[in-house]
Amino acid sequence: MIETDVAILGGMAGISAGISCRRHYPDKKVTLIRKEGTVLIPCGIPYIYGTVGNPENNVIPDGLLESSGLDLIKGEAVDVNRESKIVTLADGETIRYEKLVFATGSGPMIPPIPGVDKKNVFPVRKEFDYLGILLEKVNEARDIVIIGGGFIGMEFADECKKGRDANITIVEMLPHCLQMAMDDEYCDEAQARLQETGVNIMVNERVEALLGDETVTGVKLASGKELKADLVILGIGAVPHTDLAKKTGLELGFRNMIKVDRHMRTLSDPDIFACGDCAEKVSFFDGRPVGVMLASIATAEARIAGANLYSPTHRTVGTISVFSTVINGRAFGVAGLTERIVKQTGMSVVVTTAEAPDTHPGGMPMSAKTKVKLIFAKDTGIILGGSISGGKSVGEMTNVLSACIMHNMTANDMVMFQMGTHPALTASPIMYPIVNAACKAVIPLRGMSNIV
């Protein structure tokens, strides 16, 4: 039997939890137990099929574990005895722990579509060898159908088109791709950018069946249309890996995620914590459960879990939901609530927009126009959300908006924002779009009709 202070079940979030534990409790022995031989960077998976070229270029090296003082056991945990505090692996090995962290992540949602089990139908799994096989299939394919127009589907289509002459079609049942994450005008912009590459996008279409004998040959839509396909990629969402947690007797909540408190400690056992895609999340805005699964959220939760193992004082503020992506060279980002969401909830808000080149002057090489939309609560002036599209600066600008949301900043606070600017790196200080959008909100929030 192996003895350890902290046992962690899982991959990427588990690494973050282990590093956090070692930082706060350097005298503790931390052991990471994972089934996968290699840990992939989840958000980088679509880029295996274009930009980075292969799975080997999208991994988290095990050297990070050694340099952080973490022990590694490669094996599948199949049982946890909470009373004796023992984890049992598939090969019979046992590990005794003081504290246990579930960071078991998630896997692809597989819809109950007839024919989904045919050959050359690939859910997007976070498995190194599996993704290598998928790369071979993508390179051979002539007609690729991607089911789902969310981030995974859009990024896969963009990457699979690079350097290939394949016919690629996205099938999305909603009126817009990316509709669950962005407002209509940003969805339309992203779709247009992808269509420029030659990708075909079909919205308001539902897949009825996958055609063929043993191997997929086509996709039948509910509208009666049929698409030729020698490869189908499923990108319609994820489900938490919580079968072991359920077997262990941990309470599951929203969408079968492990119920945790604000310290990331399970409600079922004070010595067991959970973080990442397998752990239940609540909204920063109203405290209700949300189904958002993002690597950034997972690692933030992991840092909190690791810090709290022996002194639970750090608290999660809830999920703000911060997204960013790049489609055909155009970046898109969202932090917090979209205009669509606030309209659905009936909130009284002020919505403002601003545009500016991300260099000054705008004629500098590689300059891109940045579009910003901000949403403020009408009664308090506090920022609730923001959307951005533009060049590479969008990623960090979206993170700035997340910080503003997290600290309940008002439009007045943001007007006083002191930004560092440079002609080649940022918009002009006169035209900085986040600040200008905030400026436009100040007067409506005061209930005034003109500037005095």
List pLDDT tens digits, range 53-106: 999 999 988 899 989 999 999 999 999 999 999 999 999 999 999 999 999 999
pLDDT value at position 446? 81
Do 39 and 90 lie in a common domain? yes
Question: Is the pLDDT reported for residue 452 higher than 80?
Answer: no
Q: Is residue 216 part of a domain?
A: yes
- pLDDT over 90, % of the chain: 94
Section 140-166 average pLDDT: 97
Bigger pLDDT: 61 vs 252: 252
Asked if the structure places residue 313 within a domain, the reply is no
Q: How does 299-326 read in b/e, with b if 16+ C-beta sit within 10 Å? A: bbbbbbbbbbbeebebebebbbbbbbbb
Task: Look at residues 220, 236, 252 and tell me which one is the last residue of a structural domain.
Answer: 236
Does position 8 have pLDDT exceeding 60, yes or no? yes
What average pLDDT score do residues 343-368 get? 94
pLDDT, position 143: 98
Task: Among 176, 204, 236, give the residue marking a domain's end.
Answer: 236
Count how many Cα atoms sit within 13 Å of the Cα of residue 131 in the half-sphere of its side chain: 26
Mean pLDDT of 136-163: 97
- What token pair was written down for 222? 């509910």
- Residue given tokens 């990623």 in the structure block: 395
226, 207: one domain:
yes
Q: Read off the pLDDT of residues 375-434 as tens digits, 9 standing for 90 and up.
A: 999 999 999 999 999 999 999 999 999 999 999 999 999 999 999 999 999 999 999 999
Where among 213, 236, 259 does a domain terminate?
A: 236
Could you say which DSSP state residue 229 is in?
-
Structure token pair of residue 194: 């992808």
Query: What whole-number distance in Å separates Cα of residue 306 and Cα of residue 311?
Result: 10
Name the average pLDDT for the chain. 95
Same domain, 335 and 437: yes
Q: pLDDT tens, 276-285?
A: 999 999 999 9
**Is cis: bond before 361, omega within 30 of 0?**
yes
Instruction: Write the CA distances from 280 to 38, 249, 257, 267, 276, integer angstroms.
Output: 26, 16, 5, 11, 8
Per DSSP, which regions of 29-85 are E strands? 30-34, 39-40, 59-60, 70-74, 77-81
315 occurs within a structural domain: no
Residue 60 lies in a domain: yes
Which secondary-structure segment (H or E) carries 302?
A: helix 295-308
Q: Model-level pTM?
A: 0.94
CATH code of the domain covering residue 267:
3.50.50.60
Contact 150, 181 (CB under 8 A): yes
**Domain check: are 35 and 94 in the same one?**
yes
Tell me the H-state helices in 141-227. 151-160, 184-195
Both 216 and 252 in one domain: the answer is no
The number of domains in the chain is: 3
E strands, 116-259, in order: 121-123, 143-147, 167-171, 200-202, 207-212, 216-221, 226-228, 231-234, 238-240
H/E segment holding residue 7: strand 6-10
Q: Is 143 exposed, middle or buried (0-12, 13-18, 19+ CB in 10 A)?
A: middle
* Confidence bin at 38 (pLDDT 50/70/90): confident
pLDDT at position 450 over 50:
no
Do 287 and 338 share a domain, yes or no?
Answer: no
Of 305, 303, 293, which Cα lies nearest the Cα of 239?
Answer: 293
Residues 231 and 253 occupy one common structural domain: no
What confidence score (pLDDT) does residue 69 get?
A: 94
- The domain spanning residue 432 has which CATH number? 3.30.390.30
203-238 confidence digits (pLDDT tens): 999 999 999 999 999 999 999 999 999 999 999 999
Check the CA dihedral 13-252-406-191 and report its sign. Answer: positive
Which residue segment(s) compose the domain that 368 sits in? 329-446
- Asked if residue 342 and residue 301 are part of one domain, the reply reads no
What is the Cα–Cα distance from 245 to 100, expressed in whole angstroms? 11
Q: Is residue 21 part of a domain?
A: yes
**Helix (H, G, I), strand (E, B), or coil: what is residue 5?**
coil
25 with 63, same domain? yes
Q: Is residue 316 part of a domain?
A: no
Query: Please, where are the H alpha helices in 383-430?
Result: 394-406, 411-415
Question: Where does the pLDDT of residue 447 fall: very low under 50, low under 70, confident under 90, or very high at 90 and above?
Answer: low
What is the pLDDT, as a whole number, of residue 429? 93
Residues 283-342: tens digit of each pLDDT: 999 999 999 999 999 999 999 999 999 999 999 999 999 999 999 999 999 999 999 999
pLDDT over threshold 70, residue 448: no
Nearest-10 crossing angle of helices 151-160, 184-195: 20
pLDDT band at residue 248 using 50, 70 and 90 as cut-offs? very high
**Distance, CA of 152 to CA of 206 (rounded, Å):** 17
Residues 365 and 286 reside in one and the same domain: no
Considering the domain architecture, whether residues 274 and 355 belong to the same structural domain is answered as no
Per cent of the chain over pLDDT 70 is: 99
CA distance 345 to 48: 39
pLDDT for the residue 36: 82
Q: Give the strand pairing for 330-336 and 383-390.
A: antiparallel
Instruction: Let me know whether 246 and 99 are in one domain.
Output: yes
Is the per-residue pLDDT at 145 higher than 80? yes
Q: For residue 340, what is the enclosing H or E element?
A: helix 339-345
> Is residue 116 domain-resident?
no
